């Protein structure tokens, strides 16, 4: 009885899940506008790259 209830619940979840298919549809951000995507990636990776340099600069200014 328990197995049947679990199986019915899991199969009903799969049936109710309607996701769009295709490239870029399963990402948490839009890839439709390539210039916006480029800007967002530049900010994301640029902030990670610039972080250590900003911290060192801040330490030099403290003295």
What is the model's pLDDT at position 10?
A: 63
What is the model's pLDDT at position 17?
A: 60
Q: Is the residue at 58 inside a domain? A: yes
Distance from the Cα of residue 17 to its chain's centroid: 20
pTM for this one?
Answer: 0.54
Q: Is the residue at 16 inside a domain? A: no
Length of the chain: 63
What is the model's pLDDT at position 43?
A: 94
pLDDT in tens, 2-57: 677 766 666 665 566 666 777 778 888 888 899 999 999 999 999 999 999 999 99
Q: Is the residue at 38 inside a domain? A: yes
Quote the number of domains for the chain: 1
Q: Is the residue at 51 inside a domain? A: yes
> Are 37 and 31 a contacting pair, CB within 8 Å?
yes
Structural domain including 63 reads: 31-63
């Amino acid at each position: 009885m328990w197995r049947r209830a679990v199986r019915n619940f899991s199969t009903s979840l799969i049936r109710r899940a309607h996701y769009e298919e295709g490239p870029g549809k399963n990402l948490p951000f839009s890839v439709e506008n390539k210039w916006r995507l480029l800007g967002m990636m530049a900010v994301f990776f640029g902030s990670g790259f610039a972080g250590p340099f900003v911290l060192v600069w801040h330490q030099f200014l403290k003295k």
